[in-house]
Amino acid sequence: MPTYEYRCDKCQKRFSRVESISEHGRKRPICPKCKSTKVIQIFSPFYAKTVKKS
């Protein structure tokens, strides 16, 4: 499942959540610090970890 990053507009707390793709679009996350629902998604870079067998 993907990890999504968010920032609260009220207290500026950054947090991440693991959500399924179907769950991501349905309900808005709640800030763990101030319990506000005014959060925005932050788009961050990602990396792929692979294992190369020799």
Residue-wise pLDDT for 5-21, tens only, equals 999 999 999 999 999 88
Model pTM score: 0.73
Mode of pairing for the β-strands spanning 39-42 and 3-8: antiparallel
Q: What is the per-residue pLDDT for 29? A: 92
Strands 14-18 and 39-42: unpaired
pLDDT tens by residue, 28-50: 899 999 999 999 999 877 767 77
Cα 28 → chain centroid: 11
Q: What is the pLDDT of residue 54?
A: 61
